Each structure stands twice: as C-alpha cells, then as structure tokens.
C-alpha cells in the first residue's frame, strides 16, 4: 500500500510542476518525481502494474515539465490567450484537463488524421452507445479469458512460443490481441462513462479508443492508427527531443523520422517490461524494424508503378497478421515466464459461478507433456 501512496505523492508533485507558471528552475519538480518513482520501480514489494504505471508517469512528467513549456506551447481549441496569465485554480483545472486527454482530444496538438471521428451525439445517446460497447467488451474479455485459461500455451509452464505448431501461433496471436483490446476497452470505457455521466466531460471529447480494423493493411498503420494511441504523445515527444537535441538530426529528414520511430517503440517496450525481463523491448523494437522493411518495400512498389487497391489491401492484412505472428513469441514467452496468464477470475462469470474457472478446475493448464 505504501508504494501506491508514494506513487500518488509523485503524481501530485509532477502536477504541481505543471501548474506553476513557467520558471527557469521548473525542472526541480522533476527530481523528486524521478526519485520516488525509481524507489517504487525497484522496490522488492513492487509489482509489474506499479512498475508500468511509474514508467508512464515519469515519461509524462518528463514531457510536460522538461521537454515542453506546456503553458506557452499547448492550448485548448478555442483558447486565445496563454494559460500562464490565469489564476492558480484555472491553471490547475487546465492542467488536469490536459492530463485527462493523453491523445490531445480538444487541444490544438490533437492529431486528427489518426484519431477516430468524434462522436457528435447527445449525452444520453453517447452514454447508451458506450454502455453497449462496455457490455460487449466485458463479454469479449471473459470469452478471451476462458479460451486462454484452457490453453496450456498461455501458462507459466508452457513450452516456448516458437516450439508450438504454426497454426497455434497463428491462433494465439489473434486471441492475445483480442483479449488485450477487450481489457483496455473495459478500463477506458468505464472512465468515459464516469466522466461523461457526471458532466465532468463532454461526449465529443471521447472518440473511439481503437481505429477501424479495415485500416490495418500495413504494420505502421496497425500501430499508428488501429491500435490505441494513449501512449503516443509521451513516446513521440521523447523521440522528437532525442532525435534533434541528442542525435543532432534535422527535423523532417528521413533519419530523424526513423530515429523517432525506434525511440517510440523502445519506450513502448520499456513500459511493457514484466519482472525486469527485457524481451518486451525486443518485441517492440522488432516492430520498428518491420516498419522500416515495410516502408522500403512500399517505396519500391510505388516506384514500380503499383497502386493501392482492394487486392493490395488484402495482401497487406495477411502481411500484418503474419508479421505479428512471427514476432509475438518474444513477448508472450516473457509474459508466461512472469506468470501473467496464470491468474483466475473473469469480470463477470467468476462473480456468479464461484471458482468454477479457478486454476484447479482447468485440466489443460501447464505443459501438455507434464
């Protein structure tokens, strides 16, 4: 419990560093944030959820305190004057609204080209729509949990991913991402319903969290448009800074673009590390390598006169799924080693059926040869 209290204290300090007016020594607020978060990360009583959270919070603090002069550079849509001249309570409200919008929805830095369309619905219609989406996400999460629970490949004792039959790998990749998407949807939709139903937020500030699967005909589009973009700001801001100020690359160049790409995926991997196992970093860096190769092939195809078409998109879907299937094993083996797939319980079914899905009732758990 003390780690959660320390993490909350760190968040309060970083928020204070964003609320104060721009000062030459505003970076001082970042020092206790790093110190507290480092303690929480390396503590013997910490766990993977705490570690992931403090990495994210450290990156947010780094972006909004060190890298970006937020009160001068960032503005809400329709905001004419800098918030730095407002009173402290207005600046606090402004900062909290910024923190509640990691995708920049309602802000001038929102990347409208990659964010799904805003929901122009009445509050009641929006709540009804998102409630249905929440129910579907909960059902999807439970179904995915049941399927992974009875599959020995999703357990601590599983043989390595690349020792499994190819068809199983093909199936497991889709099942994992379906389950991950469902669980993320449940969490984010609950927050959405809470904020919109209480009037603390407006419906049009909550577009869908995931893009259309139809757009996933390249690996770049899968990660940049279809998958959720909740972490995009904090990984891209650090990529831009390192590219320009550390690597010395000019903005807008190909070298700068790919440097930002690799930094973003490295940080994504760092966020997803479990039990200090670096394999998730390898998985996410492989996505950057795949995108680099993909860009090269697309460039050659365009020079050869190839054009986008339905057939090309079908080929792209196959390519994206196969590339994820080939690279996913590094990440799954890491999660299996950490025992992430071994917990019992679903969001709904286990509430009404006791422990019928507990580990003791799952005969297929573990190594199939055991």
Nearest by Cα to 234 from 39, 327, 98? 98
Per-residue pLDDT at 368: 36
pLDDT higher than 70, residue 293: yes
Q: Are 40 and 56 in contact (CB under 8 A)?
A: no
| Rounded distance between C-alpha atoms, residue 150 and residue 318, angstroms | 27
Q: Are 317 and 137 in contact (CB under 8 A)?
A: no
List pLDDT tens digits, range 128-137: 999 999 999 9
Is residue 56 helix, strand or coil? helix
Q: Are 279 and 333 in contact (CB under 8 A)?
A: yes
Residues of 242-271 as b/e, b for ≥16 C-beta within 10 angstroms? Answer: bbeeeeebeeeeeebebbbbbbbbbbbbbb
List pLDDT tens digits, range 118-128: 878 999 999 99
Q: Are 286 and 327 in contact (CB under 8 A)?
A: yes
- Give the number of other CB atoms < 10 A from CB of residue 109: 14
Per-residue pLDDT at 370: 36
Per-residue pLDDT at 354: 47
Per-residue pLDDT at 201: 87
pLDDT higher than 70, residue 233: yes
Q: Are 77 and 106 in contact (CB under 8 A)?
A: yes
Per-residue pLDDT at 120: 86
List pLDDT tens digits, range 252-283: 999 999 999 999 999 999 999 988 999 999 99
Per-residue pLDDT at 363: 42
Strand extents, DSSP E, the chain: none
φ, ψ of residue 346 in degrees (nearest 5): -120, 175
List pLDDT tens digits, range 135-166: 999 999 999 988 998 899 999 989 999 999 99
Average pLDDT, integer, range 38-54: 93
Residue the block writes with tokens 């991997």: 269
pLDDT over 90 percentage in the chain: 81
List pLDDT tens digits, range 174-194: 999 999 999 999 999 999 999
pLDDT higher than 60, residue 245: yes
Torsion of CA 12, 96, 60, 286, to 10 degrees: 140
What is the sign of the dihedral through the CA atoms of 198, 201, 204 and 210? negative
Domain residue spans in the chain? 2-99, 123-352
Average pLDDT, integer, range 214-232: 96
pLDDT over 70 percentage in the chain: 92
φ, ψ of residue 112 in degrees (nearest 5): -65, -20
Q: What does the DSSP 8-state code read for residue 305?
A: T
Per-residue pLDDT at 317: 98
Whole-prediction pTM: 0.90
Per-residue pLDDT at 86: 94
Per-residue pLDDT at 346: 64
Average pLDDT, integer, range 82-105: 94
Strand partners, 76: 107
Length of the chain: 370
Nearest by Cα to 291 from 215, 230, 224? 224
Residues of 277-297 as b/e, b for ≥16 C-beta within 10 angstroms? Answer: bebbbebbbbbbebbeebbee
**In whole numbers, what is the pLDDT of the chain averaged over residues?**
91
């Amino acid at each position: 419990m003390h780690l959660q209290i320390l993490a909350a204290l760190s968040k309060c300090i970083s928020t204070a560093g964003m609320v104060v007016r721009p000062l030459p020594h505003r970076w001082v607020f970042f020092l206790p944030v790093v110190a507290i978060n480092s303690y929480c990360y390396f503590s013997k009583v910490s766990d993977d959820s705490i570690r992931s959270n403090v990495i994210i919070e450290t990156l947010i603090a780094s972006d909004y305190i060190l890298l970006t002069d937020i009160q001068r550079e960032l503005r809400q849509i329709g905001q004419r004057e800098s918030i730095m001249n407002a009173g402290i309570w207005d600046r606090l409200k402004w900062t909290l609204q910024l923190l509640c919008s990691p995708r920049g929805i309602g802000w001038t830095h929102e990347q409208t080209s990659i964010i799904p369309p805003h929901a122009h619905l009445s509050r009641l219609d929006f709540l009804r729509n998102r409630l249905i989406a929440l129910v579907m996400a909960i059902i999807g999460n439970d179904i995915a949990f049941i399927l992974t629970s009875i599959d020995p490949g999703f357990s601590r004792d599983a043989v390595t991913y690349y020792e499994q039959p190819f068809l199983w790998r093909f199936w497991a990749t889709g099942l994992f991402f379906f389950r991950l998407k469902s669980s993320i949807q449940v969490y984010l939709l609950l927050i959405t319903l809470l904020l919109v139903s209480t009037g603390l937020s407006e419906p049009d500030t909550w577009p869908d969290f995931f893009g259309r699967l139809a757009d996933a005909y390249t690996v770049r589009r899968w990660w940049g448009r279809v998958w959720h973009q909740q972490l995009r700001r904090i990984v891209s801001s650090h990529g831009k800074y390192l590219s320009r100020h550390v690597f010395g690359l000019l903005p807008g160049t190909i070298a700068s673009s790919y440097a930002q790409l690799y930094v973003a995926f490295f940080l994504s991997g760092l966020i997803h590390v479990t039990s200090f196992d670096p394999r998730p970093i390898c998985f996410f860096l492989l996505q950057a390598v795949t995108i680099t190769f993909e860009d090269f092939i697309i460039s050659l195809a365009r020079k050869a006169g190839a054009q986008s078409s339905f057939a090309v998109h079908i080929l792209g879907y196959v390519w994206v799924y196969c590339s994820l299937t080939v690279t996913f094993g590094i990440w799954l083996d890491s999660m299996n080693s950490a025992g992430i797939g071994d917990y019992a319980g679903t969001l709904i079914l286990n509430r009404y059926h006791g422990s019928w899905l507990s580990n003791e009732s799952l005969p297929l758990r573990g190594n199939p040869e055991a």
